[in-house]
Chains A and B, each alone.
Chain A
Amino acid sequence: MSLPSYAFLLAGGVGARLCLLSEKRAKPAVPFGAKYRIIDFTLSNCVNSGIFDVNVLTQYRPTSLNQHIGNGRAWDLDRTRGGVRLLGPYLGSPENDWYRGTADAVYQNLIHVRNRRAEDLLILSGDHIYKMDYNAMLEFHRDRRAAVTIAVTLVPPEETSQYGILELDSRGKVVGFEEKPAEARSQLASMGVYVFRRDVLWQALEADAEDEHSAHDFGRDVLPSLLAQGADVYGYLFPQYWQDVGTIDAFYAANLALLADRPPIDLSDPDWVIHTAILDLPAVRLGNDARVERSLIANGARIDGRVVRSVISPGVVVESGAEIVDSILMNDTRVLPGARVERAILDKQVWVGQGARVEGGSGPANRVCPDHLHGGLALVGKGATIPDGITVGANARIDPDVAPEDFEGDVGAGEVVWNPRVAPGAQSHGHPGGREKAALSR
């Protein structure tokens, strides 16, 4: 009988590349696959692997994450011993402050491990879509008597520069590691899933905390320094589906991949249920004029229009004569008659007016976030209202909570509609003209 396991789940990152979707919520709380949130996959992996002691480290915009996880009941993590804990930064002693990095976040919470028998600690990330039995990795780790084991996955050559890339010998020992290399020597990428021997983690984090030159990041600082010291670090190859959804395009593609006849990840496996917060919502309602093809629709949605190749969350209403194609609609978004949505991501509680058209396609990259919004999608923030008859083009970005009066007409490709009621500094990107417009309207 092995000792009980203990996991730290890193959920504090900013997720800047997801642009609007993670502006007001932590990336792990971004809705995914119609009824889930990204973190559901990692949390479910924990409980399905029999790990019932899960510490979620939060920092950036934790409200929606806190609300979603609650006391952990949906994952059977509402427990007397162990269970789920949400650990944000706090003040009180000289060691406590904002988390300076992933390693520092764990360091500041190591105290919680003291009363636990676990010998090996799991460090997980809440940003990925995958189904993994961590026990197999723990077994590998113990079998190799490793100090640290890093889960790795094979990524295409063009993506190696986004990950920590490992070189392994025939037994899986790490013989080379580079964080986000310009030119990679392998295609084995770190999944951000680590098993540390308890004493190794403790010593490594104490040393890292005192290193003034460290950015306090596992991938950038802690692992390279352990390797430099000659520690026994192994790579565990995870051969199944693993998807980073950290960019708008990857997020969109991973959602739409669920619509394939044989999707890369099976959400209906009774032996590996993906648990999520319980919403008491009725079955999907399809009306007299409904027409639905190749789509995923969550309970509580009401469809009277046409939905093709789309992912529809709870509470979404698609009215008669509206058309949704190749799109992602999040909770409680409403599309009025005659409106058309194509190649778009609509965050929660968006209102698309009658005859409006939100249509991605091709066009110039977004003017304020060209690095993140250039793949042709139209992106509409939470609570925004698209006025009747307005057209929104490719790579356009409509900010959260914008109202009809914030539109000056159609929104061309790559354009932006700001919310003038939000102070410019509070937005993730520069805000030209917003202040003047707000002043004028006063």
Chain B
Amino acid sequence: MRGTTAVFLAGGRGQGLGVLTEHRAPAAVPFGGKYRLIDFSLSNCNHSEIVEVALLTQHAPTSLNEHVGSGRSWDLDRAQGGLRILQPFASRHRARWTEGPADALLRNLSEFDEAGTERLLVGSAEHVYLLDYSDLVTSHIESESPLSITYNRVAQGSVREARRIEVHNGRVRQLGRNKELVSGGELAAIGLFVFEMDFLRSAADARTPRTLFEWVAAAVERGVPVNAFEHEGFWADPVDLPTYYRTSMSLLASDPPLSLADPLWTVETHGEERPPARFLESSRVKESLVAGGCVVAGHVERSILFGGVVVEEGARVVDSIVFQDVRVGAGAALDHVIVDKSVDIGESALLGEGPWPVAVDELAALAVIGKEARLPARFRLARGGVVPVADRAMAAAR
């Protein structure tokens, strides 16, 4: 895909993900037993043969930087092109943070000018989907439009908070400026665009709106031809904890809607070298994903265990998601809990216990434990409760 640079927006706060994004960019949030959200976009690039990739960061980029490194896991460590991380920086004339995705994109425009880029494919770094970007780019080029936007059909029987889109003969007829409730069977826009560089240059002078959607909507209203590309496969935007949880749990279905094991479209990630998962004599595990390096002696049901999780004898992990290197002490019980990395759960702790809320709102039903928390033996946390991220200084002093 010569002439196309992929740009992924990874600067958001990810407020909907609560303690999971307190110290990390949303794109670096672990997902699916061994991945991070950014892996899907970068793997798509590798398979689509897009070799010029930029990540625009701002909020808590450390874990994201560490994860993507030189881009080697996605064959993006290249002499020509490859992966670039563009973080806001201060110059002699200005030092200001970016104000939303459109601003972030335009401020870095000169970076792409130098690379001889004809067009930018711009997406969120946090979306979960498998897509051959060359299909999108080809559709964009054939349409001869200065810009393209992607959409999909909201699943029957569900409702999504999104921007409504109307499409006629492959052209956008109308795009909602604001999110609304779009119901099953209707079309909703996805934050995945292609912009001709010429179009971006001309837009750079005008007063820029905050989001790219507003920008595209304005272009539609001005009569600019905007190409519409339909994405038909699995797609998720884990924008808040309930969506994150539901998306994760959909992987446990016997025939999951998102295939992580397609040898022709592998999902690549920064290699954590872990030994095979160990199941001990007393282990009982079903309907679960268990990653390398786990040692399971207890019960695990409908759960996702990331690398290096230890579930001791007599412990029960049910309907839960447990990030890397967590110890679940003997006799502890987890029910509808998301546990961040390197948490230590003491013996016989009870997390997520208690009656279901009167109205079963999933956020109220999920307990979340922040990174590196140390939960003492017999610690109890009610359904929907939150333990904040451990303060490192405090933890070191202890």
Contact = CB atoms under 8 A, between A and B. Distances in A.
A binds B: yes
Interface in A262-278: 267-268, 273-276, 278
Contacts of A184: none
Interface in A330-345: none
A296 B269 contact: no
Interface in A252-300: 261, 267-268, 273-276, 278, 280-300
B271 interface: yes
Given A288-B254, A292-B283, A283 B290 contact: yes
B277 A296 contact: yes
A311 B275 CA distance: 12
Nearest to B292: A299
B291 interface: yes
Contact of B290 (A273, A275, A278, A286): A286
Interface stretch (B133-141, B173-181, B210-218, B259-267): B259-267
Given A268-B275, A283-B32, A299 B283 contact: no
A282 B33 contact: yes
B78 interface: no
B287 A286 contact: yes
B330 interface: no
A164 interface: no
Interface size class, chain B = 35 or more
B276 A33 contact: yes
B274 interface: yes
A174 B33 CA distance: 52
The B contact surface, by secondary structure, is: loop
Interface in B268-294: 268-269, 271, 273-293
A280 B267 contact: yes
B383 interface: no
Contacts of B306: 283
The residue among A284, A290, A297, A307 with the most chain B CB atoms within 10 A of its own CB is A284
A34 interface: yes
A141 interface: no
Contact of B273 (A261, A273, A289, A297): A273
Contacts of A24: none
Contacts, number: 103
A281 B277 CA distance: 13
A297 B288 CA distance: 13
A53 to B, nearest CB: 22
Interface string B31-64: 0111000000000000000000000000000000
B267 A292 contact: no
B304 interface: yes
A300 B305 CA distance: 14
Contacts of A296: 275-279
B228 to A, nearest CB: 32
Nearest to A304: B254
Contacts of A295: 278-279
Contacts of A300: 261
B287 A287 contact: yes
Contact of A292 (B269, B279, B305): B279
A35 interface: yes
Contacts of A273: 273
A70 to B, nearest CB: 13
A35 B276 contact: yes
B291 to A, nearest CB: 4
Contacts of B286: 286-291
B280 A284 contact: no
Contacts of B293: 268
A335 to B, nearest CB: 17
22 contacts: A261-B280, A267-B276, A268-B308, A273-B273, A282-B260, A283-B289, A284-B277, A284-B291, A285-B289, A286-B286, A286-B289, A286-B290, A287-B287, A288-B286, A288-B287, A290-B285, A290-B287, A292-B279, A296-B279, A297-B276, A298-B277, A299-B292
Given A292-B283, A297-B276, A298-B292, 4 more contacts: A282-B289, A287-B287, A294-B280, A299-B291
User: 9 closest Cβ contacts across the A-B interface?
Assistant: A283-B33, A267-B275, A282-B260, A280-B266, A283-B291, A34-B276, A283-B289, A298-B276, A292-B279
